[in-house]
Amino acid sequence: GREPELAWVASRLADTIDRGEPRTLVVTGEAGLGKTRFAGEVERLAAGYPVATGGYVVPAGARVLTVHCAAFGELRRLAPLADLVRAAIGLPVDAAQVGRAQAEERLRRLVQRLERGRRRDSPGVAVAQLLTLLGYRGDDPGPDDGYALTRDGRPVGQSDDLDLEATPAAVAELLSALATESPLVVIVDDLHDATAETVDGLAATLERLTGPVLVLMLGRPELVRTAGIFTRLADAEVYALPPLR
């Protein structure tokens, strides 16, 4: 099984919680080694479900957000960031149509709850920026009767609307605010499918995180190197997933 690897993740999660500081792990493995299954086990472990860790004591349950990098499509550059926001507010990632009113209500309700428990000098969560990431612009209801139809954070025709500095900062602020309620585990699978722009967006987000946030990214080794993730995340701890014993 994967008991040693799960124990490794559990120890890093415990350290993240104890220190109250973010940490990034990158797990590489060839196709067919079970990276996605391992990510699922980490998700169960972090959420507090019983998982074999070789006797290692698992910390209390954390909030878990899991997303994937898209392999195809022109509108995928910031898809993982948009999906993280959707997961945080309880919207289905694969929903074909999500109305602006529903998305905005859920997002504002979450932000209001989070900001009640934060320090007064903490920067506020940029709701408008996050709505743009989800595919809505300005006060417009959205395309085709107010629905965001893409998974990358913008409908067709809005490719220039996203601020590639402000958007990762807004996502990082939301994730950091979530971590004030309970430890947060962010899982990004299929990293080898990320474009250079996706890697930049993810890295810019992770660099701005605060609080007990453990980030686990998984992908094939040669393609992860090509994507440049090791260059952008020099402090990430890298682990090569061995074949199952």
pLDDT at position 22 over 90: yes
Q: How far is CA 200 from the centre of its chain?
A: 14
Instruction: Give the per-residue pLDDT at 159.
Output: 46
> pLDDT-based confidence at 199, cuts 50/70/90?
confident
Least confident range from 215-219, 220-224, 226-230, 238-242: namely 226-230
Q: Which residues pair with 27 in a beta bridge?
A: 218, 239
pLDDT at position 21 over 90: yes
65 contacts: CB under 8 Å, gap ≥ 6: 84, 87, 88, 175, 184, 185, 186, 187
**Mean per-residue pLDDT, 13-25:** 94
Instruction: Give the per-residue pLDDT at 136.
Output: 79
Structure tokens at 15: 């350290």
Q: What is the pLDDT of residues 74-94, one digit of tens each?
A: 556 788 999 999 999 998 776
pLDDT at position 16 over 80: yes
Average pLDDT of the chain to the nearest whole number:
81
Phi, psi angles (nearest 5°) of residue 102: -65, -45
Which of 130 and 50 is assigned the larger pLDDT?
130
pLDDT at position 50 over 50: yes
Instruction: Give the per-residue pLDDT at 119.
Output: 62
The pTM score is 0.86
> pLDDT-based confidence at 233, cuts 50/70/90?
confident
Q: What is the pLDDT of residues 102-111, one digit of tens each?
A: 889 999 999 9
Instruction: Give the per-residue pLDDT at 149.
Output: 36
For the chain, the C-alpha Rg in angstroms (whole number) is: 18
Q: Where would I find the H helices in 3-125?
A: 3-19, 35-47, 79-89, 100-116
Phi, psi angles (nearest 5°) of residue 44: -65, -45
Only one residue has tokens 């090569």, namely 240
What crossing angle do the helices spanning 79-89 and 166-178 adopt, rounded to 10°? 30
Instruction: Give the per-residue pLDDT at 108.
Output: 93
Alpha-carbon gap, residue 60 to 182, rounded angstroms: 9
Alpha-carbon gap, residue 81 to 170, rounded angstroms: 10
The answer to whether the beta carbons of residues 229 and 203 sit under 8 Å apart is yes
Q: What is the pLDDT of residues 130-181, one digit of tens each?
A: 998 888 765 555 443 333 434 444 343 344 567 778 999 999 999 999 999 9
Instruction: Give the per-residue pLDDT at 243.
Output: 85
**Mean per-residue pLDDT, 12-20:** 93
Going from the C-alpha of 224 to that of each of 49, 142, 206, 229, 239, the distances in angstroms are 30, 35, 17, 6, 12
Grouping H, G, I as helix, E, B as strand and the rest as coil, residue 79 is helix
> pLDDT-based confidence at 27, cuts 50/70/90?
very high
